[in-house]
Protein backbone atom coordinates (compact mmCIF):
# COMPACT_ATOMS: atom_id res chain seq x y z
CA UNK A 1 0.00 0.00 0.00
CA UNK A 2 1.29 3.45 -0.92
CA UNK A 3 0.43 6.27 1.51
CA UNK A 4 1.03 9.99 0.92
CA UNK A 5 1.87 11.90 4.10
CA UNK A 6 1.42 15.67 4.18
CA UNK A 7 1.81 18.25 6.92
CA UNK A 8 1.86 21.98 7.46
CA UNK A 9 0.05 22.91 4.26
CA UNK A 10 -0.81 26.39 5.57
CA UNK A 11 -3.25 27.17 2.76
CA UNK A 12 -1.18 25.84 -0.14
CA UNK A 13 -3.70 23.50 -1.77
CA UNK A 14 -1.89 23.54 -5.14
CA UNK A 15 1.22 21.87 -3.68
CA UNK A 16 -0.91 19.15 -2.11
CA UNK A 17 -2.72 18.50 -5.38
CA UNK A 18 0.64 18.21 -7.19
CA UNK A 19 1.89 15.72 -4.60
CA UNK A 20 -1.22 13.55 -4.96
CA UNK A 21 -0.92 13.59 -8.75
CA UNK A 22 2.77 12.63 -8.55
CA UNK A 23 2.39 9.84 -5.99
CA UNK A 24 -1.04 8.38 -6.88
CA UNK A 25 -1.53 7.04 -3.31
CA UNK A 26 -4.17 4.68 -1.99
CA UNK A 27 -4.44 6.74 1.22
CA UNK A 28 -3.60 10.33 2.25
CA UNK A 29 -2.62 11.29 5.79
CA UNK A 30 -2.58 14.99 6.75
CA UNK A 31 -0.78 15.85 9.99
CA UNK A 32 -2.29 19.25 10.66
CA UNK A 33 -1.87 22.94 10.00
CA UNK A 34 -4.40 23.43 8.31
CA UNK A 35 -7.43 21.18 8.82
CA UNK A 36 -9.52 22.90 6.15
CA UNK A 37 -6.78 22.33 3.55
CA UNK A 38 -7.17 18.57 3.94
CA UNK A 39 -10.93 18.89 3.51
CA UNK A 40 -10.42 20.91 0.31
CA UNK A 41 -7.92 18.33 -0.95
CA UNK A 42 -10.49 15.58 -0.32
CA UNK A 43 -12.87 17.38 -2.70
CA UNK A 44 -10.23 17.19 -5.45
CA UNK A 45 -9.71 13.45 -4.86
CA UNK A 46 -12.92 12.05 -3.35
CA UNK A 47 -12.00 8.44 -4.18
CA UNK A 48 -8.80 8.49 -2.09
CA UNK A 49 -9.42 8.00 1.63
CA UNK A 50 -7.98 10.75 3.82
CA UNK A 51 -7.26 10.72 7.55
CA UNK A 52 -6.05 13.72 9.54
CA UNK A 53 -5.18 15.19 12.92
CA UNK A 54 -5.31 18.86 13.88
CA UNK A 55 -2.21 20.97 14.35
CA UNK A 56 -1.45 23.85 16.68
CA UNK A 57 -2.94 26.35 14.16
CA UNK A 58 -6.21 24.46 13.75
CA UNK A 59 -8.16 25.39 16.91
CA UNK A 60 -10.16 22.17 16.78
CA UNK A 61 -10.45 21.38 20.47
CA UNK A 62 -13.09 18.72 19.80
CA UNK A 63 -10.78 16.69 17.52
CA UNK A 64 -8.23 14.29 19.00
CA UNK A 65 -4.72 15.73 18.48
CA UNK A 66 -3.27 12.21 18.30
CA UNK A 67 -4.60 9.06 16.63
CA UNK A 68 -3.58 5.45 16.31
CA UNK A 69 -4.49 3.86 12.98
CA UNK A 70 -4.31 0.19 12.11
CA UNK A 71 -3.37 -0.29 8.47
CA UNK A 72 -2.92 -3.84 7.33
CA UNK A 73 -1.17 -5.30 10.39
CA UNK A 74 0.74 -2.11 11.30
CA UNK A 75 0.19 0.36 14.12
CA UNK A 76 0.56 3.93 12.82
CA UNK A 77 0.56 6.80 15.28
CA UNK A 78 -0.40 10.22 13.86
CA UNK A 79 0.14 13.57 15.51
CA UNK A 80 1.07 17.08 14.51
CA UNK A 81 3.84 17.01 17.09
CA UNK A 82 3.12 20.10 19.17
CA UNK A 83 1.53 17.98 21.94
CA UNK A 84 4.76 15.97 22.20
CA UNK A 85 7.21 18.87 22.03
CA UNK A 86 8.92 17.72 18.82
CA UNK A 87 10.53 21.11 18.22
CA UNK A 88 12.61 20.62 21.35
CA UNK A 89 13.27 16.87 21.30
CA UNK A 90 11.87 13.57 20.03
CA UNK A 91 12.16 12.00 23.48
CA UNK A 92 8.47 12.34 24.39
CA UNK A 93 7.48 11.20 20.90
CA UNK A 94 9.68 8.16 21.35
CA UNK A 95 8.06 7.31 24.68
CA UNK A 96 4.62 7.72 23.11
CA UNK A 97 5.58 5.47 20.18
CA UNK A 98 6.79 2.85 22.62
CA UNK A 99 3.63 3.15 24.74
CA UNK A 100 1.44 2.72 21.64
CA UNK A 101 3.64 -0.09 20.28
CA UNK A 102 3.79 1.93 17.05
CA UNK A 103 5.45 0.56 13.96
CA UNK A 104 5.36 4.06 12.48
CA UNK A 105 5.18 7.48 14.13
CA UNK A 106 4.18 10.35 11.83
CA UNK A 107 4.51 13.97 12.92
CA UNK A 108 4.96 17.44 11.46
CA UNK A 109 5.21 20.85 13.15
CA UNK A 110 8.95 21.44 12.65
CA UNK A 111 8.66 21.90 8.85
CA UNK A 112 11.85 19.80 8.54
CA UNK A 113 11.76 16.43 6.76
CA UNK A 114 13.04 13.49 8.78
CA UNK A 115 13.22 9.73 8.40
CA UNK A 116 14.76 7.88 11.35
CA UNK A 117 14.38 4.41 12.82
CA UNK A 118 14.37 4.27 16.60
CA UNK A 119 14.11 0.74 17.89
CA UNK A 120 11.21 -0.94 16.11
CA UNK A 121 9.55 2.38 15.23
CA UNK A 122 10.06 4.32 12.02
CA UNK A 123 9.78 8.08 12.67
CA UNK A 124 8.79 10.26 9.71
CA UNK A 125 8.24 13.99 9.45
CA UNK A 126 7.19 14.82 5.88
CA UNK A 127 8.31 18.44 6.20
CA UNK A 128 6.03 21.25 5.06
CA UNK A 129 4.05 20.77 1.85
CA UNK A 130 2.90 24.38 2.22
CA UNK A 131 6.39 25.87 1.96
CA UNK A 132 6.53 28.09 -1.12
CA UNK A 133 10.29 27.64 -1.66
CA UNK A 134 11.06 24.05 -0.65
CA UNK A 135 7.90 21.98 -0.13
CA UNK A 136 8.33 18.38 1.00
CA UNK A 137 6.09 15.35 1.44
CA UNK A 138 6.59 11.72 2.46
CA UNK A 139 5.59 8.42 0.95
CA UNK A 140 5.08 5.41 3.20
CA UNK A 141 4.80 1.91 1.80
CA UNK A 142 3.51 -1.16 3.57
CA UNK A 143 4.45 -4.29 1.67
CA UNK A 144 5.09 -7.87 2.70
CA UNK A 145 4.66 -6.97 6.37
CA UNK A 146 7.27 -4.19 6.26
CA UNK A 147 6.89 -0.43 6.67
CA UNK A 148 9.21 1.87 4.76
CA UNK A 149 9.16 5.58 4.07
CA UNK A 150 11.00 8.43 2.39
CA UNK A 151 10.67 12.18 2.12
CA UNK A 152 10.78 13.98 -1.22
CA UNK A 153 10.98 17.57 -2.38
CA UNK A 154 7.91 18.46 -4.43
CA UNK A 155 10.01 20.18 -7.07
CA UNK A 156 12.93 17.93 -8.05
- pLDDT of res. 41: 98
Identify the pLDDT of residue 63: 87
Q: Which domain holds residue 71?
A: 2-153
Indicate yes or no: pTM above 0.85. Answer: yes
**Confidence (pLDDT) at 62:** 79
Terminal-to-terminal C-alpha distance of the chain: 24
Please report the DSSP string for the chain in residue order: -EEEEE---TT-HHHHHHHHHHH--SEEEE-SS-HHHHHHHHHH-TTS-EEE---TTS--TTS-SEEEEEETTEEEEEE-SGGGTTTT-SHHHHHHHHHTT-SEEE--SS---EEEEETTEEEEE---TT-SSS-EEEEEEEETTEEEEEEEES--
pLDDT under 70: residue ranges of the chain:
none
Say how many domains are in the chain.
Answer: 1
Specify the CATH number for the domain of residue 22: 3.60.21.10
So what's the pLDDT on residue 124? 98
Amino acid sequence: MKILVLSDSHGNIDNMVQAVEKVQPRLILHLGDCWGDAQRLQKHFPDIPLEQVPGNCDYRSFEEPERLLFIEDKRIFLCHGHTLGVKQSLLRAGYKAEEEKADLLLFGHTHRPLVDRRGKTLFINPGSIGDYFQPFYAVVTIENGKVDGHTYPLHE
